[in-house]
Amino acid sequence: MTPRTFPDLVPAHLRARWRDEGHYLGMGVYQLFRTVALAHPDRDAVVDDHGRVTYAALHREVLSVAGALTRLGVRPGEVVAVQLPNQAAAVATELAIAAVGAVALPFPVGRGSSEVEALLRGSGAVLLVAATEHRGRSPLRTAEALRPRLPDLRWAVGVDGRGRLLSATVSPADESDLPEVDASSAARILVSSGSEAQPKMVAYSHDALAGGRGNFVASLRRGADPLRAHFLVPLGSAFGSNATSVVLARHGGTLLLNDHFDADRALATIADHHPTHVLGVPTMIRMMLDLNRCPRPGDGAVLVLGGAPLDPDTARRARKVFGGPVVNLYGSADGVNCHTGLDGDPCDESGPGRPAGRPDPGVVSIRVVDADGRDVAAGATGEIVALGPMSPLCHVGGDGADERHRTADGWVRTGDLGVLDERGLLRVVGRLKDVVIRGGANISPAEVESAVRTHPAVADACCFGTPDPLMGERLVAALVPRGGTEPPDVAALAVHLKEGGLDPFKCPERVLRVGRLPLTAAGKVDRDALRALVD
């Protein structure tokens, strides 16, 4: 079977201009990693739950996995799926896929069988590398049960709990036999967090990952010391794509990993290994803050928080407790990125929504447009669209996503609502479709959540709509109580919200008490799981 193609929807003259301007490095992800490994063989590349792995040791493992892929017959341009927890084996596998010129499709181990089938079918993956067991489940067995319905999937290879490859010969590849890789070709398919009916897949080139996304991480570096980046999110998520291709291959840093998120273990990793950066979603940071065992002020890791709106209270608490800058990151698998930076104010409440900083044209330029694609006036609300060195090639899966999410001249239509003010600063207001419509009135769950978290008895909150035959939808607030306190009931919460200035029609009509907010495989709050708790 001929490997699928990944057309580039960005005009060729723009890619050429970004290359001439130095935003692209002109090398594939594996070649970049190899350069670092040869220059710094004794530097830690990965520190995971099994120990430390130097660049030299990781390079040897990459060549072993590349040898296995080659002997299995994986060809350049073919898709290899990866469903592994955060460990060195996942990193080595992604780099090995790049080394043989194939396209990596990593996704989190927590994905259900229907989503796994959709990803493997839609991508045309020829091989899956999966964990034999992870937290009581076997992603490998799940995939093997699906194989009769997946004609493109030729092999499924297991990785055991220690990160060792099974069912494959692992003698190393000869580097002289590895293909030359075009940096403009597809390197990885990023997977959305599943807010759509099926997860969305987006193909990125080596240039867009190491170049465009690498420029984003470069803007958050402090000094010349190597990065030590603690990823709380799965490496298989879109957020996690900044790990292997960017922190390692582009910047020569160290990845600090736990095989799944646990607030206690995350804090222990920070205390033991002193990361320069911690990357996660706000919910994870709130869970860590509520343990009251966070590092003392002055340890100073940069907290890079994305994947969900960052409320001012969480930002202030995190900055005070962790002692370093708190960065509000606005980004997605589709190809948009903007952040408040090391010196920005993620707590700025001078305008609507949440601040997202000034767009960096070395990553993506951002416009705010009306329904016809025309730029709106400064300060007016419209849809956020993005285009730049980080822009992906195309969507994957043949479901018409490119027609829905890309313009004719390559701009990514994010589906997010935003405002660009007179100074060129972006604020994210909400999503076009993430709105609860109660009796014809539009309610932004993110706005209400931010207000609910200001209640002294609420540690965290998630707001969502549930169907209602009379009003269309009603708003529910799932509340995590702070300490041993009792969370407010509907009436008390409404009083607090109205005193804080929230419009009365936006107040939740039901309160659901939960011990903690459930997370999806990608590390975001699982609203579907919360809806299932509503009678």
* C-alpha span between 328 and 343 (Å, rounded): 11
26: left (phi over 0), alpha (psi -120 to 50) or beta: left
Q: Residue 39 carries which side chain, given as an amino acid letter?
A: A
Question: How do residues 292-317 score in pLDDT, each as one tens digit?
Answer: 776 654 458 999 999 888 889 899 99
What are the structural domain ranges in the chain? 436-531
The larger pLDDT score, comparing residue 190 to residue 114, is at 190
Report the predicted TM-score, pTM, of the whole model to 2 decimal places: 0.86
3-state helix, strand, coil in the chain (%, to 5): 30, 25, 45
* C-alpha span between 256 and 270 (Å, rounded): 9
Find, among 218, 228, 219, 214, the residue nearest to 300 by Cα. 228
**Residue 254 pLDDT level (bands cut at 50, 70, 90):** very high
Tell me yes or no: is domain 436-531 CATH 3.30.300.30: yes
Question: How do residues 352-382 score in pLDDT, each as one tens digit?
Answer: 889 999 999 999 999 999 989 999 999 999 9
According to the model, what pLDDT value does residue 264 have? Answer: 93
**Residue 431 pLDDT level (bands cut at 50, 70, 90):** confident
Q: How far is CA 430 from CA 298, 347, 416, 433, in A?
A: 34, 17, 6, 9
- 411 is written with which tokens? 């701009």
**Residue 195 pLDDT level (bands cut at 50, 70, 90):** very low
Q: Is the pLDDT of residue 451 over 60?
A: yes
According to the model, what pLDDT value does residue 173 have? Answer: 86
